[in-house]
Structure 1
Amino acid sequence: MDKRLLILALGMFALGTDSFVVAGVLPAIARTFHTDVGLAGQLTTVYAIAYALLSPTVAALAGGVPRKRLMLSGLGIFVLANLATAFAPNFTLALVSRAFAGLGAAMYSPTATSTGAMIVKPEQRGQALTIILAGLTAATALGSPIGTVIGGLGDWRWTMVFVSVVGLLAAAGIALLLKEIPMPPKVSLRDRLAPLSDTRVGLVLATTLLAMAGNFVIYTYFSVVFDRVLSSTALFGALLVLWGSGGTMTNVVLSRLLDRFGPRWVLVVMLSVLVADMALLPWASGQLWSSVLAIAVWGVAGWGIMGPQQYRLVGLAPASAPVVLGLNTAATYLGVTAAGVLGAAGLHLLGGHNLALFAVILFVLAIVTSELAARRIEAADAVPGNLQLSK
């Protein structure tokens, strides 16, 4: 395994911890700022939408900035923004600081992902992408539960300090261990958005958005969905570890399967499993044993989506890998943004225990767009002279 990929994954671990840990301390944040859990959940929404909208923009404007410097600058902003959240005197300033944390993430994540895809051989791209993505799943298995426990034992503000420390360690690792990376060609914002004119790319991105919205409509309000079984902070952390651990194992296995078989059927299986799991969740979340089983399945299948999606996009546009992966990052966090809004509405309309019904609809729609993308890719492959692309 290329050790440089592990360094890049460490930075993703920091960003992932920040993305996921807020869900674990939402009730405490709501109490501090005298608001309800649905409104407090918009801290995740603001972070996600800043991340989504700024990823392609920053990548275009910073096209001439050395890759290492851009990643370190992004992590620096990220660390300071999380410290600002920790010491925010009111909810408004907390929201603003979350937007700046999203800016730092937007500077780092697409740069790290595209760098990983470029520094390995073409036949190793699937493995490279899933290793970097494993930084996010490791954040759910380790970073988020640790942060949740810290917030439960003390104050949620110490959770944000913990996130800042993780980001600082990631920056130190990159500064000390990662050599300078050759500059890619500068690409304008217009050119970065050009792949959206390809219907195949648009459908793949739509699949990412819908699938991640389905995942995070539950994760963002985890404490409400599973409140019938969450008897202690330690149990809360353990269930988050279970979710993230399932995803970590999935990415390790898929790294080789993708390079051998391609992503289409992996996606169909994972999304179908998620539909069934979410349909049963209103019942399963009422008992501890069934909650454990449902969360384990959700972790395995939910995190099994991103690797195939990234692999698919790089196969569609290998010469524009930084561009399409940046757009995929934007689609991911637009999905998280939609999840925050849908989840808040679902809490009022259906109640927390039935929130999974929103996820079922989103995952079914993701299957539809995924299969439409596969058929478009097959049709393009059938045209003489076209390159054979992964489906």
Structure 2
Amino acid sequence: MRSRLYALAAGNFAIGTGMFVTAGLLASISADLGVSRSAAGQLMTVFALAYAVLSPVLAALTANMSRRTLLLLAMAVFTAGSALAALAPTYPLVLLTRVVAAAGAAMFTPTSSAVASALSSPERRGRALALVMGGLTVSSALGVPLGTWLGDAVSWRATLWAVAGLGVLGLIGVAALVPDVRIAASRRLSERLQPLRDRRVVAVLVTQLLVFATGFTAYTYIGSLLDLPLPAVLWAWGLGGVAGNMLGGRLTDAYGPRRMVFTGMTAVLVFMALIPVANLALPVALVWGFLWGASGWMVAPAQQFRTVAAVPGNVSIGLGLLASAQYLGLVVAGLAGGVALEAYGRIGVVVLAVAIGVVALVFTLATYRPALSPERESIPA
């Protein structure tokens, strides 16, 4: 069983590395393609936008397909998109290849969670999901720093070839280890969007969008905000993300999702304001990066908890919408952060990240009440 889950996690590791690594490659991408760093940052924006838009559409179109076949197709598409990006000679063509890679990711990641859930017993389902999705968080701790280092040492194209290689390994793992699974799913897009009629669900999704917009406004352009060795800072952030994701689940079970959502959001807001302090020295930046990553990813399990509570009859669809909101947050971060960087430099990006964080906190305070959550919210302080 664990070998099957590791194969799915390996696919998510490749996808996470391929998406997030561009944040550490902006300087080499901009120099090679003759565009500004803010324009280079839109490679992540385009990937996130394509993922958010294509995820529900492709899920409906492939509803009757065997999940194993879909996983193989998804990883093949992602790998092809990454390889084409490494070959693309111009900026517009690189953007187009990011859409191709995102289409593969949009099919693979939600399907890997559904397959992990189907293959595991109810009492081990949470751990199975954590293992499979852990590929994404581990990619931020391992794949992204190594990819950034490779990009600095060789070229950003070498990094994307390495991502394509990871995709091939994920494809082989799925082909060798994951069995054929069929999961009942609706082919009607309207049914997949039905939870959006519930204001509780919309509130959760908007919070998710704003939380990720806050953190990734800085993360997308981190190379322009710090004058320190970037791979080391990204490594610290990634390690913090892994720790925060693991700890966040336990703390959510212990103290309830509401407390964890507000604790994590407040901490992220503080760390955004401390970016100039982090830039003073590498040891300071490493501690800052770890705590920022931990506090940001600590919110994720609590938000998943909120989603499951809001749509108990459509959990997979609800979590799919949560992922789309997350990636839309990255779109906002990439676009708004790029404008701020061009107009006001690094201080503009910092101010923008803090401003979005304030909006996120105020919105969530206004919309997230204990009465809207299940019994864990009633745990006394």
Give the TM-score normalised by structure 2: 0.93
2:371 partner amino acid: E
1:55 partner amino acid: S
* Separation of aligned partners in 1, 2:347 and 2:116: 40
Are the aligned partners of 1:141 and 1:241 in contact in 2 as well (CA < 8 Å)? yes
Question: In the alignment, is residue 109 of structure 1 matched against residue 109 of structure 2?
Answer: yes
Per-residue CA distance 1:18-43 (angstroms, 9 max, x = gap): 11111111111111111111111111
* Separation of aligned partners in 1, 2:61 and 2:256: 33
Are the aligned partners of 1:25 and 1:151 in contact in 2 as well (CA < 8 Å)? yes
53-62 vs 291-300, which moves further: 291-300
Q: Secondary structure at the match of 2:316?
A: helix
1:180 partner amino acid: D
Are the aligned partners of 2:249 and 2:302 in contact in 1 as well (CA < 8 Å)? no
33-42 vs 251-260, which moves further: 251-260
Question: In the alignment, is residue 378 of structure 1 matched against residue 371 of structure 2?
Answer: yes
* Separation of aligned partners in 2, 1:91 and 1:148: 19
What does 1:203-218 correspond to in 2, within 5 Å? Answer: 203-218=203-218
Are the aligned partners of 2:256 and 2:376 in contact in 1 as well (CA < 8 Å)? no
Are the aligned partners of 2:79 and 2:168 in contact in 1 as well (CA < 8 Å)? yes
348-357 vs 29-38, which moves further: 348-357
292-301 vs 129-138, which moves further: 129-138
Are the aligned partners of 2:47 and 2:101 in contact in 1 as well (CA < 8 Å)? yes
Are the aligned partners of 1:217 and 1:340 in contact in 2 as well (CA < 8 Å)? yes
Equivalent of residue 244 in structure 1, options 217, 229, 238 = 238
Distance 1:207 1:6, change over 3 A: farther
Q: CA deviation at 1:165?
A: 0.7
Task: Give the aligned partner of residue 384 of structure 1.
Answer: none
Task: Give the aligned partner of residue 130 of structure 2.
Answer: 130
Per-residue CA distance 1:308-330 (angstroms, 9 max, x = gap): 21222123223312211111111
Per-residue CA distance 1:99-146 (angstroms, 9 max, x = gap): 111111111112122333454455655544433332111111111111
Q: CA deviation at 1:6?
A: 3.3
Distance 1:21 1:206, change over 3 A: same
183-192 vs 206-215, which moves further: 183-192
* Separation of aligned partners in 2, 1:188 and 1:106: 17
Distance 1:26 1:198, change over 3 A: same
* Separation of aligned partners in 1, 2:117 and 2:304: 10
Per-residue CA distance 1:164-189 (angstroms, 9 max, x = gap): 01111112112211222232232410
- Structure 1: give runs of 5+ residues left out of the alignment: 382-387
* Separation of aligned partners in 1, 2:268 and 2:197: 30
* Separation of aligned partners in 2, 1:297 and 1:93: 37
CA RMSD, 1 decimal: 2.1
2:264 partner amino acid: M
Per-residue CA distance 1:218-246 (angstroms, 9 max, x = gap): 1111110112xx2xxxx321211111011
Equivalent of residue 324 in structure 1, options 318, 323, 329 = 318
Task: Give the aligned partner of residue 252 of structure 2.
Answer: 258
Task: Give the aligned partner of residue 179 of structure 1.
Answer: 179
Are the aligned partners of 1:214 and 1:362 in contact in 2 as well (CA < 8 Å)? yes
Are the aligned partners of 2:255 and 2:376 in contact in 1 as well (CA < 8 Å)? no
Q: Secondary structure at the match of 1:364?
A: helix
Per-residue CA distance 1:321-380 (angstroms, 9 max, x = gap): 2211111111111111111111111112331145222222222222334344432x6158
* Separation of aligned partners in 2, 1:125 and 1:264: 23
Task: Give the aligned partner of residue 273 of structure 2.
Answer: 279
2:42 partner amino acid: Q
* Separation of aligned partners in 2, 1:50 and 1:26: 20
Q: CA deviation at 1:296?
A: 1.5
Are the aligned partners of 2:8 and 2:132 in contact in 1 as well (CA < 8 Å)? yes
Identity of aligned residues (%): 37
Task: Give the aligned partner of residue 143 of structure 1.
Answer: 143
The total of aligned residue pairs comes to 378
Task: Give the aligned partner of residue 385 of structure 1.
Answer: none
Are the aligned partners of 1:113 and 1:325 in contact in 2 as well (CA < 8 Å)? no
Equivalent of residue 342 in structure 1, options 323, 336, 346 = 336
* Separation of aligned partners in 1, 2:252 and 2:5: 18
Per-residue CA distance 1:242-272 (angstroms, 9 max, x = gap): 1101111122223333344432211111111
* Separation of aligned partners in 1, 2:64 and 2:366: 36
1:190 partner amino acid: S
Distance 1:274 1:380, change over 3 A: closer
1:110 partner amino acid: P
38-47 vs 7-16, which moves further: 7-16
* Separation of aligned partners in 1, 2:125 and 2:203: 21
Question: In the alignment, is residue 289 of structure 1 matched against residue 283 of structure 2?
Answer: yes
Question: In the alignment, is residue 368 of structure 1 matched against residue 349 of structure 2?
Answer: no
* Separation of aligned partners in 2, 1:371 and 1:6: 38
What does 1:54-203 correspond to in 2, within 5 Å? Answer: 54-120=54-120, 126-203=126-203
- Structure 2: give runs of 5+ residues left out of the alignment: none
* Separation of aligned partners in 2, 1:370 and 1:132: 29
* Separation of aligned partners in 1, 2:313 and 2:377: 15
Q: CA deviation at 1:285?
A: 2.0
